Structure 1
Amino acid sequence: MHRALRGTAWVLTVVVLLVVAFLVYAHIVMPGTRSAALQVWRDDRVAVRDAGDAVVMTPTGTADGKGIVFVPGAKVDPYAYMATFRQVVAAGTTVVITKPTLNLAFFDTRPLSTFEAHAPRVTTWAVGGHSLGGVRACQLAREAGGLLLLGSYCADDLSDTDLDVLSVSGSRDGLSTPAKVAAARGKLPADVRTVEVVGANHADFGAYGDQPGDGTATIPRAQARSEIAAAIEDWVRTLG
């Protein structure tokens, strides 16, 4: 009996330690670059508020009635994507950047409507994501009118949909490599719009510094961010 109790206690101890270790791991995120975030906060064309479960970016000028619910990459601070969408929001589009459960999109089971509720004046919604966040966005895409993939690709088959899809990739991406993006192309609708930013790597889709396993970018981050934003702006005009 005592031996069985000791064995049970040992197993429970191991389980608790594993859970604690995972929670610590999940809560260590790649933080946003402070200088990039400050540029957004100081931009009077963009309003930013923390809604608790999301970061909501809205234009202070004329809004176009369109919005994007955006899911961050694994263990990346949601605020790191403010710089990515600064110009998009300034041009009139609302962006809601989610705060995934445990900072990992796969653990977030909330529907798209949870985040759309933060911007009730938006009439046309798209969903998007970076890296693992893009994989989650693909799972939510049937609830939206458009899908935005930044350095990402779908595991779910959406080839039978009429979604407006934009896939932006980086030629120097060491994680969502050009080969991986191309291999998953068949899971998207036939008329998907693709843009490859030559010289950009995986971390160029957010302002959070370098990322382990990534390729080396051959263009300045400011240039990559500008090209990414321009591609998104052009795509948003076709939504709705």
Structure 2
Amino acid sequence: MLVLAIGGVLAYTQIGVMPAEPGPLAEVRDNSAITVTDADEGIVLEPADGDSERGLVFIPGAKVDPWAYAAPLQGLAEEGITVVITRPWLNLAFFDPRGLDDFTSAAPDVESWAVGGHSLGGVRACQLATAADALVLFASYCANDLSDSELPVLSVAGSEDGLSTPEKIADARPMLPADAELVEIDGASHASFGDYGPQAGDGEPTLSEKEMRAQLTDIVGGFLLSVPR
């Protein structure tokens, strides 16, 4: 029975993984303003001039190809922020016991690190947040209580999200510090935060991919650049 249970879990983690869409990914690889490195720590997006003092460790959502987040996050690298997109063990962040240092080692010159994640990746990011300088939630919320921390927190949600709905995010608001910043992007769905296609149970987005990327870069980039070092 134990062998069958383990086999079932392993099969679940590998079946139905949502792949990165090839078009947006090709744009990232052709972007001369950034460098993309497939490192041991994860997928590293950096400004092409190498001048970066701030970073974001980003944890993907459950069973989503990490490369699916490269296009939505490339704008941060263009703004001078290093992004390390992790590869969660077995495609699920809860199975990944690694600490923040296991990812920040990809860019040792970065002085200030935030941690963040999409959906289930954001829940895991909350667990690592005390080791970071800031926390960013992408269509996600915390299961552990950070309300007494002095951590700068940004929570970005989508008005059309059918999974991490605005109501669920509001219900989990007490887990965050009182001064946490909550921003809702009008027209964004759950899958708008990545480029992996439609997701079962999600709402229908009403804004374009280009508009979503621009807003995400403006909102998250502005927050990260304002975090005290």
TM-score, structure 1 length as denominator? 0.91
What's the CA shift for 1:221? 2.2
- Tell me whether 1:166 sits opposite 2:142 in the alignment: no
What's the CA shift for 1:91? 1.0
Please list, as runs of the form range in 1=range in 2, the aligned pairs for 1:49-60 lying within 5 A after superposition. Answer: 49-60=37-48
1:234 to 222, 225, 228: 222
Unaligned runs of 5+ in 1: 1-13
Match of 2:175 in 1: 187
Whole-angstrom distance in 2 between the partners of 1:66 and 1:120: 11
Report if the CA contact (8 A) 2:159-2:189 is conserved. Answer: yes
Which range moves more in the overlay, 228-237 or 140-149? 228-237
Matched position secondary structure for 1:39? helix
Match of 1:31 in 2: 19
Match of 1:19 in 2: 6
Please list, as runs of the form range in 1=range in 2, the aligned pairs for 1:121-160 lying within 5 A after superposition. Answer: 121-160=109-148
Which range moves more in the overlay, 34-43 or 18-27? 18-27
Whole-angstrom distance in 1 between the partners of 2:69 and 2:44: 11
Whole-angstrom distance in 2 between the partners of 1:218 and 1:164: 30
Match of 1:197 in 2: 185
Matched position secondary structure for 1:237? helix
Report if the CA contact (8 A) 2:41-2:106 is conserved. Answer: no
Please tell me whether Structure 1 or Structure 2 has the larger radius of gyration of its CA atoms: 1
Whole-angstrom distance in 2 between the partners of 1:63 and 1:166: 24
Whole-angstrom distance in 2 between the partners of 1:64 and 1:17: 47
Match of 2:93 in 1: 105
- Tell me whether 1:66 sits opposite 2:68 in the alignment: no
The percent of aligned pairs where both chains have the same amino acid is: 49
2:209 to 197, 214, 221: 221
Report if the CA contact (8 A) 2:123-2:140 is conserved. Answer: yes
What's the CA shift for 1:225? 2.1
Deviations 1:161-204 (A, max 9, x none): 11111110000000000000011111111111111100100000
Match of 2:106 in 1: 118
Whole-angstrom distance in 2 between the partners of 1:204 and 1:226: 12
Deviations 1:194-221 (A, max 9, x none): 1110010000001110001101111122
Whole-angstrom distance in 1 between the partners of 2:37 and 2:11: 27
- Tell me whether 1:45 sits opposite 2:33 in the alignment: yes
Which range moves more in the overlay, 116-125 or 220-229? 220-229
Match of 1:94 in 2: 82
Report if the CA contact (8 A) 2:54-2:225 is conserved. Answer: no
Whole-angstrom distance in 2 between the partners of 1:166 and 1:131: 14
Matched position secondary structure for 1:88? helix
Match of 1:211 in 2: 199
| CA RMSD, 1 decimal | 1.1
What's the CA shift for 1:228? 1.4
Match of 1:79 in 2: 67
Whole-angstrom distance in 2 between the partners of 1:125 and 1:95: 10
Deviations 1:121-180 (A, max 9, x none): 000000000000000000000000100000000011101111111110000000000000
